[in-house]
Amino acid sequence: MIDIHCHILPSLDDGAKDISESVAMAREAVKEGIDTIIATPHHKNGQYENKKLTILEEVKLLNKRLQEEKIPLNILPGQETRIFGEFLEEEELVHILPLNQTQYVFVELPSGHVPRYTERLLFDVQLKGFIPIIVHPERNTEIITNPDIMYNLVKKGALTQVTASSVAGYFGKKIQKFSAQLIEANLTHFLASDAHNVNNRTFKMMDALDMVEAKFGVDMVYFYTENAELLIEGKNVMKEIPERVKAKKFLGIF
């Protein structure tokens, strides 16, 4: 299994504090059946700046340590970049690291709102040859209140990734219900852990996939696992026609 969103690199952000925590996370990932992780430290989120060259070097060092520990886990380079107006300016773009150096780039929105320039920026990102993936939209307050925002962005070419812990209910019933609605409306394309540690923000990938299979069937599990494989190879991922989230479904349960 491939996890495309994880804060496993040591001492770079609010994920693993040191190399020993990175190793502990790696062991936990293997227990979950994960054999490949894209390391995605925060970039430009107001607290952390993790530029491309730094991440590439840290990935090499962690892979070396995992080989020494005989842990069967491969770390690939990536980055979780908070949306900002200068994203595509030349002096900033040189520090952006697409997932496994493909055409796919993570874009993180603020937790409470969607900036007004988001639609235009994501359009420009695509004109540059990148494919934006909006991370954990199910935890964005404005999107929860107005899901049509997500529908419009996906319809215009953006992809999205929901968090395993959201789907499995670890962030509460409201976020779990909304995650299910996004899945049902074909508004999300990847499932990933966004793991930060082995305590309160761990992987929960198996829990989430079990929930997906129970609610949506094994084909949806295949959809998510296959898309992760296609992503790391830089191939076109599978997409279904997006639909609007219907307000009446907010009363449903997962």
Q: pLDDT 10s digit of each residue in the chain, 254 long?
A: 999 999 999 999 999 999 999 999 999 999 999 999 999 999 999 899 999 999 999 999 999 999 999 999 999 999 999 999 999 999 999 999 999 999 999 999 999 999 999 999 999 999 999 999 999 999 999 999 999 999 999 999 999 999 999 999 999 999 999 999 999 999 999 999 999 999 999 999 999 999 999 999 999 999 999 999 999 999 999 999 999 998 654 444 44
What pLDDT, on the 0 to 100 scale, is given for residue 46? 87
CB 161 within 8 A of CB 135: yes
| H helical segments located in 95-253 | 118-127, 141-145, 148-155, 164-167, 173-184, 205-216, 218-232
Provide the pLDDT for residue 30. 98
Global pTM reads 0.95
Please answer whether residues 62 and 21 qualify as being in contact, where contact means their C-beta atoms are separated by less than 8 angstroms: no
| 201 C-beta neighbours (distance < 10 Å), count | 18
Q: Which of 202, 135, 131 is nearest to 165 (CA)?
A: 202
Instruction: Count the Cβ atoms, other than its own, within 10 Å of residue 13.
Output: 19
Domain at 2-251, CATH from 3.40.30.10, 3.40.50.11540, 1.10.630.10, 3.20.20.140: 3.20.20.140
